[in-house]
């Protein structure tokens, strides 16, 4: 079945460091790919998305490119801030029985130190 | 702003005492989902509604039930909560016909069992 694999955390960085969180997926067909962010005590918020191969999603300085050849959707940010500390989830959409279900990775906790 | 609202944010119940969590949406999405999320884990899908059609995940315990009286509202009923049911419960919505669109999440209800 379809699945999402994320790098394990926690990831601890100093402010202004470069961030990469790896995400790879297994899917039949051409799923849409998403990154969500979850701050403590809150629900998941969409960070960015890509719907087809070579699409680049971007938002708030974060970027991820849909790489079909490597089945990857790695999240990057050039200069992290303390406020980026959160848990990041990679996800894909999978159509089954007429509706879309969303498959999540296990999440990667990011801690940014001042 | 269109959104997904969960009430209450925090719920405390006693072991074995039924509890109901609620979710409402103003997005007019036809699919609503309930997830269980335990600490440092990915959200786990319990079930979802496609309009009035209920879709249960194979591994969702019978202790968990759901109702969707109309498009806007969806409820999660836990008939006899056990200590293992303490978790964050997340409600989400999506448009069934558009898998390239993200889910929209509420802020969750954190359930504690005494």
Cβ within 8 Å, pair B106-A43:
yes
Looking at residue B1, its pLDDT comes to: 64
d(CA A73, CA A97): 26
The answer to whether A53 contacts chain B (CB < 8 Å) is no
DSSP state, residue B30? S
DSSP code per residue over A44-71 = EEEEEEE-STT-EEEETTEEEE-BTTTT
Residue bearing the bigger pLDDT, A22 or A98: A22
Q: Which of B58, B53, B40, B46 is nearest to B92 (CA)?
A: B46
Q: Is B75 helix (H, G, I), strand (E, B) or coil?
A: strand
Burial of A58 by CB count in 10 Å (0-12 exposed, 13-18 middle, 19+ buried)? middle
Residue pLDDT, tens place only, B12-56: 999 999 999 999 999 999 999 999 999 878 899 999 999 999 999
Residue pLDDT, tens place only, A39-78: 988 889 999 999 999 999 999 999 999 999 999 999 999 9
* Chain B residues with CB within 8 Å of chain A CB: 4, 6, 31, 33, 40-43, 45, 48, 50, 55, 90, 92, 94, 96, 98-108, 110
Cβ within 8 Å, pair B42-A101:
no
Burial of A97 by CB count in 10 Å (0-12 exposed, 13-18 middle, 19+ buried)? exposed
Q: Are B13 and B34 in contact (CB under 8 A)?
A: no
Cβ within 8 Å, pair B31-A97:
no
Looking at residue A76, its pLDDT comes to: 98
Cβ within 8 Å, pair B100-A49:
yes
Task: Give the one of B42, B50, B104 whose C-beta lies nearest to A105's C-beta.
Answer: B42
In this structure, what token pair is assigned to residue B40? Answer: 């440092």
With cut-offs at 50, 70 and 90, classify the pLDDT of residue A8.
confident
Task: Give percent above pLDDT 90 in chain B.
Answer: 82
DSSP state, residue A104? E
Closest CA of chain A from B79, distance in Å: 24
Write down the mean pLDDT value for chain A: 92
Looking at residue B97, its pLDDT comes to: 65
Write down the mean pLDDT value for chain B: 92
The answer to whether A108 contacts chain B (CB < 8 Å) is no
* Span of B22-31, B70-79, B94-103, B105-114 with lowest mean pLDDT: B94-103
Cβ within 8 Å, pair A44-B43:
yes
Looking at residue B41, its pLDDT comes to: 86
Q: Are B23 and B8 in contact (CB under 8 A)?
A: no
In this structure, what token pair is assigned to residue A56? Answer: 């680049």
Assess whether pLDDT exceeds 70 at residue A98. no
Task: Give percent above pLDDT 90 in chain A.
Answer: 76
Mutation pick from B49, B102, B104, B106 vs chain A, by most beta carbons of A within 10 Å, is B102
Looking at residue B102, its pLDDT comes to: 85
């Amino acid at each position: 079945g379809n699945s999402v694999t994320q790098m394990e955390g926690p990831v601890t960085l100093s402010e202004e460091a470069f961030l990469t969180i790896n995400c790879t997926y297994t899917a039949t067909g051409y799923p849409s790919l998403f990154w969500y962010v979850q701050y403590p005590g809150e629900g998941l918020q969409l960070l960015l998305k890509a719907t087809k191969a070579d699409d680049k999603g971007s938002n708030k300085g974060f970027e991820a490119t849909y790489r079909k050849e490597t089945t990857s959707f790695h999240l990057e940010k050039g200069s992290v801030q303390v406020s980026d500390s959160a848990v990041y989830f990679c996800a894909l959409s999978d159509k089954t029985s007429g509706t879309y279900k969303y498959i999540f990775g296990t999440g990667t906790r990011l801690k940014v130190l001042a | 702003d269109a959104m997904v609202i969960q009430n209450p944010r925090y719920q405390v119940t006693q072991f074995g005492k039924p509890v109901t969590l609620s979710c409402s949406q103003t997005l007019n999405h036809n699919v609503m989902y309930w997830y269980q999320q335990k600490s440092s884990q990915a959200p786990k899908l319990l079930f979802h509604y496609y309009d009035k059609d209920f879709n249960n995940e194979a591994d969702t315990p019978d202790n968990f039930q759901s109702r969707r009286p109309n498009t806007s509202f969806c409820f999660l009923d836990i008939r006899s909560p056990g200590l293992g049911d303490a978790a964050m419960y997340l409600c989400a919505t999506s448009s069934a016909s558009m898998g390239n669109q993200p889910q929209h999440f509420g802020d969750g209800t954190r359930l504690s069992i005494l």
